[in-house]
Amino acid sequence: MAENEKLEQTAQTASDKADKAKKDKKSEKKSKPGVFARIGKWLKDMKSELKKVQWPTRKQTVNNTLIVIACVVVVGIFIWLFDLVANKGIGLILSLLG
């Protein structure tokens, strides 16, 4: 009979621990910070992350901008040439058929 009592006690302590864990989880949910506290924390974290960013120099920014503009012009010329050739080709085909 002593063994049964020990088993019951261990089962009871296990269920008590499970109940405490559930209560702890419920209390954690209730202690969630408010909206403004979370926004403030987010802004604070964002500011600290932006301090870690390695910002480009003015020279690098100008250089990268010029490269982008040159690429846009080159791609624009290729599109214009393709459009011109396609337009002439379709015009030639239509003139042969019509």
Enter the DSSP assignment of 31: T
pLDDT (mean) for 27-47: 86
- Reported as a pLDDT band with limits 50, 70 and 90, residue 51 is very high
Residues 6+ apart with CB under 8 A from 56: 64
Q: CA dihedral defined by 44, 45, 50, 52, rounded to 10 degrees?
A: 120
Place of tokens 């058929």: 97
pLDDT in tens, 69-92: 999 999 999 999 999 999 999 999
